[in-house]
Amino acid sequence: MENKLNSGAIFKNDKKTKDTHPDYRGKVNVNGKEMEIALWVKQGKNGSFMSASFSEPYVAPVTSEPISKVDNDDFPF
Give the pLDDT of residue 8: 96
Domain-wise residue ranges, the chain: 1-56
74 phi/psi in degrees, rounded to 5: -80, -15
Give the pLDDT of residue 70: 60
pLDDT in tens, the chain (77 residues): 678 999 999 999 999 999 999 999 999 999 999 999 999 999 999 999 999 999 999 888 887 766 666 666 665 65
Q: Is 48 helix (H, G, I), strand (E, B) or coil?
A: strand
Render the burial of 54-76: b for 16+ CB within 10 Å, e for the rest: eeeeeeeeeeeeeeeeeeeeeee
Closest CA to 27 of 58, 50, 49: 58
CB contact at 8 A, 3 and 27: yes
Give the pLDDT of residue 64: 74
